[in-house]
Amino acid sequence: MSSSGLRVVWVYPDLLSTYGDQGNVLVVERRARQRGLTVERVDVRSDQPIPTSGDIYLVGGGEDRPQRLAAERLRRDGGLHRAVDNGAIIFSVCAGYQILGHEFVNDLGQREPGLGLLDVVSVRGTGERCVGDVLADIDEALRLPQLTGFENHQGITQLGPGVRPLARVRLGNGNGTGDGTEGAWAGTVFGTYMHGPVLARNPQIADLLLKLTLDVNALPPVDDRWYEALRTERIAAATQAAA
Ligand code: GLN
Protein backbone atom coordinates (compact mmCIF):
# COMPACT_ATOMS: atom_id res chain seq x y z
CA MET A 1 0.00 0.00 0.00
CA SER A 2 1.41 3.41 -0.91
CA SER A 3 1.88 6.23 1.61
CA SER A 4 -1.12 8.03 0.07
CA GLY A 5 -3.41 5.26 1.32
CA LEU A 6 -5.46 2.33 0.06
CA ARG A 7 -6.37 2.37 -3.65
CA VAL A 8 -9.60 0.52 -4.38
CA VAL A 9 -10.23 0.05 -8.09
CA TRP A 10 -13.72 -0.66 -9.37
CA VAL A 11 -13.31 -2.28 -12.77
CA TYR A 12 -15.73 -1.27 -15.54
CA PRO A 13 -18.81 -0.04 -13.66
CA ASP A 14 -20.35 0.69 -17.09
CA LEU A 15 -20.26 -3.01 -18.06
CA LEU A 16 -19.91 -5.09 -14.90
CA SER A 17 -22.21 -4.04 -12.10
CA THR A 18 -25.34 -6.16 -11.79
CA TYR A 19 -27.40 -7.08 -8.73
CA GLY A 20 -25.93 -4.38 -6.52
CA ASP A 21 -22.28 -5.35 -6.97
CA GLN A 22 -21.39 -1.65 -6.59
CA GLY A 23 -22.11 -2.27 -2.92
CA ASN A 24 -18.88 -4.29 -2.69
CA VAL A 25 -16.87 -1.15 -3.42
CA LEU A 26 -18.80 0.83 -0.81
CA VAL A 27 -18.28 -1.83 1.85
CA VAL A 28 -14.51 -2.10 1.28
CA GLU A 29 -14.18 1.70 1.30
CA ARG A 30 -16.22 2.10 4.45
CA ARG A 31 -14.58 -0.66 6.44
CA ALA A 32 -11.12 0.64 5.50
CA ARG A 33 -12.04 4.19 6.58
CA GLN A 34 -13.46 2.86 9.84
CA ARG A 35 -9.97 1.45 10.50
CA GLY A 36 -8.46 4.89 9.99
CA LEU A 37 -7.12 4.26 6.49
CA THR A 38 -7.11 6.91 3.78
CA VAL A 39 -8.94 5.46 0.79
CA GLU A 40 -8.76 6.49 -2.83
CA ARG A 41 -11.50 4.92 -4.90
CA VAL A 42 -10.81 4.69 -8.63
CA ASP A 43 -13.75 3.91 -10.92
CA VAL A 44 -12.34 2.73 -14.26
CA ARG A 45 -14.78 2.82 -17.16
CA SER A 46 -14.22 0.38 -20.01
CA ASP A 47 -12.73 3.07 -22.28
CA GLN A 48 -10.02 3.86 -19.71
CA PRO A 49 -6.79 2.01 -18.91
CA ILE A 50 -6.72 -0.20 -15.83
CA PRO A 51 -4.30 1.38 -13.33
CA THR A 52 -1.65 -1.09 -12.22
CA SER A 53 -0.89 0.47 -8.82
CA GLY A 54 -4.18 -0.40 -7.08
CA ASP A 55 -4.36 -2.46 -3.89
CA ILE A 56 -7.80 -4.07 -4.24
CA TYR A 57 -9.60 -4.54 -7.57
CA LEU A 58 -13.32 -5.33 -7.61
CA VAL A 59 -14.86 -6.88 -10.72
CA GLY A 60 -18.64 -7.36 -10.72
CA GLY A 61 -21.20 -9.42 -12.59
CA GLY A 62 -22.74 -8.60 -15.93
CA GLU A 63 -25.12 -9.75 -18.60
CA ASP A 64 -23.73 -11.87 -21.45
CA ARG A 65 -22.95 -9.12 -24.01
CA PRO A 66 -21.33 -6.63 -21.62
CA GLN A 67 -19.37 -9.59 -20.26
CA ARG A 68 -17.90 -10.30 -23.72
CA LEU A 69 -17.04 -6.61 -24.25
CA ALA A 70 -15.40 -6.45 -20.83
CA ALA A 71 -13.32 -9.58 -21.51
CA GLU A 72 -12.12 -8.18 -24.88
CA ARG A 73 -11.06 -4.90 -23.30
CA LEU A 74 -9.43 -6.45 -20.26
CA ARG A 75 -7.41 -8.83 -22.46
CA ARG A 76 -6.24 -5.94 -24.64
CA ASP A 77 -5.46 -3.79 -21.60
CA GLY A 78 -3.37 -6.33 -19.67
CA GLY A 79 -3.48 -4.14 -16.55
CA LEU A 80 -5.01 -6.73 -14.23
CA HIS A 81 -2.09 -9.10 -14.86
CA ARG A 82 0.40 -6.36 -14.05
CA ALA A 83 -1.58 -5.46 -10.93
CA VAL A 84 -1.51 -9.08 -9.71
CA ASP A 85 2.23 -9.23 -10.46
CA ASN A 86 2.54 -6.15 -8.24
CA GLY A 87 0.79 -8.04 -5.42
CA ALA A 88 -2.71 -6.60 -5.80
CA ILE A 89 -5.85 -8.40 -4.69
CA ILE A 90 -8.66 -9.10 -7.15
CA PHE A 91 -12.13 -9.96 -5.93
CA SER A 92 -14.54 -10.92 -8.72
CA VAL A 93 -18.21 -11.85 -8.92
CA CYS A 94 -20.07 -14.02 -11.45
CA ALA A 95 -19.34 -12.64 -14.94
CA GLY A 96 -16.18 -11.08 -13.51
CA TYR A 97 -15.22 -14.46 -12.03
CA GLN A 98 -15.76 -16.20 -15.38
CA ILE A 99 -13.64 -13.54 -17.13
CA LEU A 100 -10.73 -14.16 -14.76
CA GLY A 101 -10.70 -17.84 -15.80
CA HIS A 102 -9.21 -19.37 -18.94
CA GLU A 103 -12.42 -19.15 -20.98
CA PHE A 104 -16.19 -18.91 -20.89
CA VAL A 105 -19.01 -19.13 -23.44
CA ASN A 106 -20.07 -15.70 -24.68
CA ASP A 107 -23.41 -14.29 -25.80
CA LEU A 108 -22.74 -15.55 -29.37
CA GLY A 109 -22.37 -19.11 -28.10
CA GLN A 110 -18.62 -19.03 -28.78
CA ARG A 111 -15.72 -19.87 -26.47
CA GLU A 112 -14.32 -16.56 -25.32
CA PRO A 113 -10.79 -16.41 -23.86
CA GLY A 114 -10.57 -15.03 -20.35
CA LEU A 115 -7.56 -13.63 -18.53
CA GLY A 116 -6.22 -16.90 -17.13
CA LEU A 117 -5.74 -15.37 -13.69
CA LEU A 118 -7.72 -18.23 -12.15
CA ASP A 119 -7.35 -21.87 -13.21
CA VAL A 120 -11.05 -22.30 -14.05
CA VAL A 121 -13.05 -22.84 -17.23
CA SER A 122 -16.70 -21.88 -17.62
CA VAL A 123 -19.19 -23.41 -20.02
CA ARG A 124 -22.88 -22.74 -20.55
CA GLY A 125 -24.98 -24.97 -18.33
CA THR A 126 -27.57 -27.06 -20.14
CA GLY A 127 -29.95 -27.17 -17.18
CA GLU A 128 -32.05 -24.45 -15.62
CA ARG A 129 -30.42 -21.12 -14.85
CA CYS A 130 -28.97 -21.10 -11.33
CA VAL A 131 -31.04 -18.51 -9.48
CA GLY A 132 -31.61 -18.07 -5.76
CA ASP A 133 -30.10 -17.75 -2.34
CA VAL A 134 -26.81 -19.45 -1.52
CA LEU A 135 -25.47 -20.55 1.85
CA ALA A 136 -21.94 -21.83 1.83
CA ASP A 137 -19.10 -22.80 4.17
CA ILE A 138 -15.96 -20.96 3.24
CA ASP A 139 -12.65 -22.77 2.66
CA GLU A 140 -11.39 -23.74 6.12
CA ALA A 141 -7.98 -22.30 5.24
CA LEU A 142 -9.64 -18.85 5.32
CA ARG A 143 -11.31 -19.44 8.73
CA LEU A 144 -14.42 -17.25 8.30
CA PRO A 145 -18.11 -17.66 9.19
CA GLN A 146 -20.69 -19.11 6.82
CA LEU A 147 -21.32 -17.15 3.63
CA THR A 148 -24.63 -15.92 2.29
CA GLY A 149 -25.26 -14.67 -1.23
CA PHE A 150 -27.59 -14.60 -4.19
CA GLU A 151 -26.74 -16.31 -7.47
CA ASN A 152 -28.09 -15.77 -10.99
CA HIS A 153 -26.07 -17.42 -13.75
CA GLN A 154 -26.29 -19.79 -16.69
CA GLY A 155 -22.59 -20.49 -16.87
CA ILE A 156 -21.07 -23.30 -14.82
CA THR A 157 -17.45 -23.34 -13.76
CA GLN A 158 -14.99 -26.22 -13.56
CA LEU A 159 -12.01 -25.75 -11.25
CA GLY A 160 -8.49 -26.78 -12.26
CA PRO A 161 -5.69 -27.90 -9.93
CA GLY A 162 -4.32 -24.35 -9.64
CA VAL A 163 -7.21 -23.09 -7.48
CA ARG A 164 -9.09 -24.07 -4.34
CA PRO A 165 -12.88 -23.75 -4.04
CA LEU A 166 -13.73 -20.56 -2.17
CA ALA A 167 -16.54 -22.39 -0.37
CA ARG A 168 -18.84 -25.42 -0.34
CA VAL A 169 -22.55 -24.86 -0.79
CA ARG A 170 -25.14 -25.94 1.76
CA LEU A 171 -27.87 -24.32 -0.31
CA GLY A 172 -27.74 -23.24 -3.92
CA ASN A 173 -25.57 -24.24 -6.86
CA GLY A 174 -22.33 -22.29 -6.63
CA ASN A 175 -20.08 -23.38 -9.49
CA GLY A 176 -22.97 -25.48 -10.81
CA THR A 177 -20.93 -28.59 -11.60
CA GLY A 178 -22.75 -30.66 -9.00
CA ASP A 179 -19.65 -31.12 -6.83
CA GLY A 180 -20.81 -28.59 -4.22
CA THR A 181 -18.00 -26.13 -4.81
CA GLU A 182 -18.60 -22.38 -4.85
CA GLY A 183 -16.16 -19.91 -6.38
CA ALA A 184 -12.39 -20.29 -6.49
CA TRP A 185 -9.28 -18.64 -5.16
CA ALA A 186 -5.53 -18.77 -5.59
CA GLY A 187 -3.10 -16.45 -3.84
CA THR A 188 -4.62 -12.98 -3.99
CA VAL A 189 -7.21 -13.67 -6.71
CA PHE A 190 -10.76 -14.57 -5.68
CA GLY A 191 -13.92 -15.43 -7.61
CA THR A 192 -17.47 -16.16 -6.48
CA TYR A 193 -20.93 -16.55 -7.98
CA MET A 194 -22.43 -14.71 -5.03
CA HIS A 195 -24.05 -11.33 -5.49
CA GLY A 196 -25.95 -9.74 -2.67
CA PRO A 197 -23.79 -7.60 -2.65
CA VAL A 198 -21.59 -10.35 -1.26
CA LEU A 199 -19.35 -8.08 0.83
CA ALA A 200 -22.36 -6.44 2.52
CA ARG A 201 -23.71 -9.86 3.41
CA ASN A 202 -20.27 -11.13 4.38
CA PRO A 203 -18.17 -8.26 5.74
CA GLN A 204 -15.71 -10.89 6.97
CA ILE A 205 -14.56 -11.22 3.34
CA ALA A 206 -14.10 -7.44 2.99
CA ASP A 207 -11.96 -7.59 6.13
CA LEU A 208 -10.01 -10.54 4.72
CA LEU A 209 -9.14 -8.44 1.65
CA LEU A 210 -8.04 -5.57 3.90
CA LYS A 211 -5.94 -7.88 6.10
CA LEU A 212 -4.21 -9.33 3.06
CA THR A 213 -3.47 -5.83 1.77
CA LEU A 214 -2.15 -4.59 5.09
CA ASP A 215 -0.40 -7.91 5.80
CA VAL A 216 -1.91 -8.14 9.28
CA ASN A 217 -3.72 -10.98 11.06
CA ALA A 218 -6.40 -8.87 12.73
CA LEU A 219 -8.20 -5.54 12.33
CA PRO A 220 -9.77 -3.34 15.01
CA PRO A 221 -13.42 -4.38 15.43
CA VAL A 222 -16.14 -2.15 14.02
CA ASP A 223 -19.87 -1.93 14.69
CA ASP A 224 -21.25 -4.90 12.73
CA ARG A 225 -24.87 -4.77 13.96
CA TRP A 226 -26.26 -3.71 10.58
CA TYR A 227 -24.37 -6.46 8.76
CA GLU A 228 -25.38 -9.05 11.36
CA ALA A 229 -29.05 -8.09 10.96
CA LEU A 230 -28.78 -8.48 7.18
CA ARG A 231 -26.98 -11.81 7.50
CA THR A 232 -29.50 -13.19 9.98
CA GLU A 233 -32.40 -12.14 7.76
CA ARG A 234 -30.91 -13.61 4.57
CA ILE A 235 -29.83 -16.89 6.22
CA ALA A 236 -33.35 -17.31 7.67
CA ALA A 237 -34.99 -16.48 4.32
CA ALA A 238 -32.75 -18.92 2.44
CA THR A 239 -33.32 -21.69 4.97
CA GLN A 240 -37.10 -21.16 4.92
CA ALA A 241 -37.23 -21.12 1.12
CA ALA A 242 -35.35 -24.41 1.02
CA ALA A 243 -37.53 -26.10 3.66
N1 GLN B 1 -23.57 -14.00 -18.01
C2 GLN B 1 -23.05 -14.88 -17.02
C3 GLN B 1 -23.89 -16.14 -16.80
O4 GLN B 1 -25.08 -16.13 -16.94
C5 GLN B 1 -22.86 -14.11 -15.73
C6 GLN B 1 -24.13 -13.61 -15.12
C7 GLN B 1 -23.92 -12.70 -13.94
O8 GLN B 1 -22.90 -12.03 -13.82
N9 GLN B 1 -24.91 -12.61 -13.05
O10 GLN B 1 -23.33 -17.15 -16.45
- 131-148 pLDDT, tens digit per residue, is 999 999 999 998 888 999
Mean pLDDT of the chain: 96
Give CA–CA dist 50/156, Å, rounded.
27
Pocket test for ligand 1, best of 64, 92, 194 (most atoms within 8 A of CB): 64
At residue 110's C-alpha, the angle toward residues 108 and 113, to 5°, is: 120
What are the structural domains of the chain? 6-242 (3.40.50.880)
241 or 157: which leads in pLDDT:
157
**Spatial CA neighbour of 203 closest among 30, 9, 5, 21:** 30
Q: Is 129 annotated as a binding residue?
A: yes
Among all residues, which ones are annotated catalytic?
94, 195
Using the mean position of ligand 1's atoms as its centre, give its distance from the Cα of residue 15 in Å.
12
pTM of the model as a whole: 0.97
Using the mean position of ligand 1's atoms as its centre, give its distance from the Cα of residue 143 in Å.
28
Amino acid at 161: P
pLDDT of residue 19: 85
pLDDT of residue 2: 77
Asked if the model's pLDDT at residue 48 lies above 80, the reply is yes
pLDDT of residue 241: 82
Nearest CA to ligand 1 atom 1: 64
Handedness of CA 56, 28, 75, 165 (dihedral sign): positive
Q: How many CA atoms lie within 13 A of 109 on its CB side?
A: 1
* Nearest atom in ligand 1 to 129's CA: 4
Using the mean position of ligand 1's atoms as its centre, give its distance from the Cα of residue 88 in Å.
25
Residues in the chain: 243
The answer to whether residues 196 and 148 touch, using CB atoms and an 8 Å cutoff, is: yes
- Report strand pairing: 89-93 vs 56-59: parallel
Nearest CA to ligand 1 atom 3: 153
The answer to whether residues 205 and 166 touch, using CB atoms and an 8 Å cutoff, is: no
Give CA–CA dist 189/184, Å, rounded.
8
Pocket test for ligand 1, best of 19, 63, 106 (most atoms within 8 A of CB): 63
Ligand 1 site, CB within 6 A: 18, 61-64, 67, 94-95, 152-155
pLDDT of residue 4: 74
Helix axis angle, 22-34 relative to 203-214, nearest 10°? 60
Asked if the model's pLDDT at residue 186 lies above 80, the reply is yes
Nearest CA to ligand 1 atom 10: 155
pLDDT of residue 39: 97
